[in-house]
Structure 1
């Protein structure tokens, strides 16, 4: 990903927090010579050696997994808030732009066995059920229901590179007050979130 140096976020802890809070990503590899993408949860975790990894799973009906073994590296894309920035908010004439947060994670993918996949699925469900009114646990599901696990392919991605773009009007500090004020008047949550990030 091309990231001008003033938009590059190299704060590893901040980027990891972003990945944990925005874990619904896009997994991309090559299938029969063409790029293939699947939208799935990709959870940041640690492997047995304490190294950062992403874990996820896809349906066996999805042909993407058949190319996993041939994939050199895979790419995972995570999108955060974004907002249109009108140049009418600037003191000086300029073109409009877009502020956003996006993180690209590259890595080597390893297919998990059924037991490892089940451990990964337990962690995934427990994470997202913890705030439910009536939390579901895979421990409580019948063997018949859990047989569906045989229809998925679990995987772990050993991270080789993380690229994080945090484009938050860094090159226009003189216009921040006006940009923030205008964004806060917008109805969409992305504009309001970007406004708060610019203010920090």
Structure 2
């Protein structure tokens, strides 16, 4: 991904928090000579050696997985909040722009066994169900229901490179207060989230 130097975020802890909070990603590889993409949760985890990895699954009916063994190199795209920024908020004349956060991860994929997938899904469901009023658990489901696991392909992704773009009006610090104020009064979620992030980061990127 093209990232101007002032927008590059190399704070690994912050980037990992972003990935964990925006885990519904786009998994991209090559299938039959064309790019193929699937929208799917990709969870940040660790392997047996303590290295950061991604774990996920797609439907077995999705032909994307058929290229995993022969072409295991994949690109994972994590999108964050984004918003239009009007140059009418600037002290000096300039063109409008767009603020956003995005993370790309390049990695090498390996397919998990059915038992590994089932074990991982137990933990995944427990993680997302813990806030529900009547949480469900795979432990309570019948063998017939659990047979659906055979309908997915689970995988791990060894992380080879992380690229993080945090475009948050760097270089226009004198206008940050106005930008934050204007975004805060917008109605869309992207504007509100970007406003909050810019305020929280303060002068970090100045």
TM-score, normalised relative to structure 2: 0.95
CA distance in 1 between counterparts of 2:94 and 2:101 reads: 22
In the other structure, the counterpart of 1:24 is: 24
- The number of equivalent residue pairs is 200
In the other structure, the counterpart of 1:114 is: 114
Matches within 5 A, 1:1-200: 1-200=1-200
CA distance in 1 between counterparts of 2:42 and 2:72 reads: 19
CA distance in 2 between counterparts of 1:177 and 1:49 reads: 45
CA contact (8 A) 2:59 2:151 kept: yes
**3-state DSSP of counterpart to 1:83:** strand
**3-state DSSP of counterpart to 1:65:** helix
How far did 1:73 drift? Answer: 1.4
CA distance in 2 between counterparts of 1:71 and 1:13 reads: 30
| 1:79-136 CA distance string (max 9 Å, x none) | 0111100111111111111001100011000000011111221121111111011111
Aligned-residue RMSD, C-alpha = 0.8
In the other structure, the counterpart of 2:203 is: none
How far did 1:72 drift? Answer: 4.3
CA distance in 1 between counterparts of 2:166 and 2:84 reads: 14
CA distance in 1 between counterparts of 2:66 and 2:83 reads: 37
TM-score, normalised relative to structure 1: 0.98
Structure 2 residue runs without a partner (length 5+):
201-206
CA distance in 2 between counterparts of 1:16 and 1:126 reads: 21
CA distance in 1 between counterparts of 2:116 and 2:72 reads: 22
CA distance in 1 between counterparts of 2:180 and 2:102 reads: 20
CA distance in 2 between counterparts of 1:123 and 1:31 reads: 30
CA contact (8 A) 1:104 1:162 kept: yes
Structure 1 residue runs without a partner (length 5+):
none
CA contact (8 A) 1:22 1:79 kept: yes
Runs of 4+ in 1 over 3 A off after TM superposition: none
